[in-house]
Homo-oligomer: A and B are copies of this chain.
């Protein structure tokens, strides 16, 4: 067993430096690497290009990094719900590249799986395809989209072990598995680090080979963005 466990979040983010490209798992605030983000805020690292489906909210998630002006560029599919983001974007302080959500997922998967690029129908005929190669297969048009190249991927799982094996929970899974192994170094934080051998080999979502560092997060706020409920009848 190859041991990926690091002592804590400080060791986990070691090597992140100005102007790097980092991936962050999560959909909205669900399944985001809360502890890594907090440590990056403290570290003061600047000029980051962040690949993340969303950009957090004003006071949580990647919004915390935005607030400290640590992000140079966001590559996302949806960036609402964030006033500071809007201000920086409209002022030109922040560069934003919006791409289709499925394209984002697949550009991660391509990087993970060693594919240089993929042909996807998403965005054909729209401004997303401008300047990109397009091609017909069987009468349908596709856009060539390239694998991401990132320095770090920060992901969050539910359970994990020192071998780097990960299990996600519910829809907090989202982009996290696709980002594992899609950057030079993948840092996984988990709610619970269990002894090696405890996870069923058959039920591991991401094998440890895709993970370079793993640690148990100190605490998880797991904030809910849209609390929708129904009344008991």
Contact = CB atoms under 8 A, between A and B. Distances in A.
Contacts of A41: none
A115 interface: yes
Given A202-B170, A203-B203, A140 B116 contact: yes
A83 B115 CA distance: 37
Given A169-B202, A203-B203, A138 B116 contact: yes
Total copies of this chain within the assembly? 2
Given A169-B202, A203-B203, A116 B119 contact: yes
B116 A117 contact: no
Given A169-B202, A203-B203, A137 B117 contact: yes
Given A169-B202, A202-B170, A203-B203, A119 B120 contact: no
Nearest to A140: B116
Contacts of A119: 115-117
A121 interface: yes
Interface residues of A, number: 20
Interface in A95-118: 114-118
Interface of A is mostly: mixed
A169 B202 CA distance: 6
Contacts of A168: 202
A60 interface: no
A154 interface: no
A142 interface: yes
A225 B115 CA distance: 33
A102 to B, nearest CB: 9
Contacts of A138: 116
A118 B121 contact: no
Interface string A183-206: 000000000000000000111000
Given A116-B142, A117-B137, 9 more contacts: A115-B118, A116-B140, A117-B119, A118-B118, A137-B146, A167-B202, A168-B202, A169-B202, A170-B202
